[in-house]
Amino acid sequence: MHVLSEHMGLEPAEETPLMPAVPSVAPCGQVITAGDIPVHTAKPTADDVAVYHAKLPNGKTKPILKTLLTSACERNCFYCPFRAGRNFRRVTFKPEEMAQTFMDLYRAGVAEGLFLSSGIIGGGVKTQDKLIATAELLRQKHRYRGYLHLKIMPGA
């Protein structure tokens, strides 16, 4: 989960001012470390995954897990740290695994919301179907009613 969440700072979880962001390190030059953290721990903590604290209009924050279903991608978008041309370890979750992992974090009080995106494998429609399947599992099987943000995949 840490490998997937590490670069999600590139995806804003709340509205931000319309000024260009200047990254401290270019995504194309950043090396992802293999600091593997177990996904299904008995009691996950905020140190186990990259949880983003989104700012709410009232000034408070809400811990949101920002992650991907997969860091594998068939596209080679130059700006993306997960592009096909990068040589690094790829991680993929099935919708069932992502839903269960998020619910473990939610029950442990680590994350209160989920911001879910994905690399594209098998086309945008197939990838979008997996994102929707994850959301359906959270809403129907796990009865999660909190914040859920899904990205729309190109071509879907």
Q: Residue 66's closest CA among 78, 51, 80?
A: 51
Cα 123 from Cα 155, distance rounded (Å):
7
Going residue by residue through the chain, which has 156 residues, state the pLDDT in tens, using 9 for 90 and above. 666 656 565 555 555 544 444 433 333 343 333 333 333 434 555 565 779 999 999 999 999 999 999 999 999 999 999 999 999 899 999 999 999 999 999 999 999 999 999 999 999 999 999 999 999 999 999 999 999 999 999 988
How many C-beta neighbours within 10 Å does residue 48 have?
A: 18
Structure tokens at 79: 């700006």
Burial of 79 (0-12, 13-18, 19+ CB in 10 A): exposed
pTM, 2 dp: 0.71
How many C-beta neighbours within 10 Å does residue 143 have?
A: 8
Question: What are the residue boundaries of the structural domains of the chain, listed by start?
Answer: 2-12+44-150
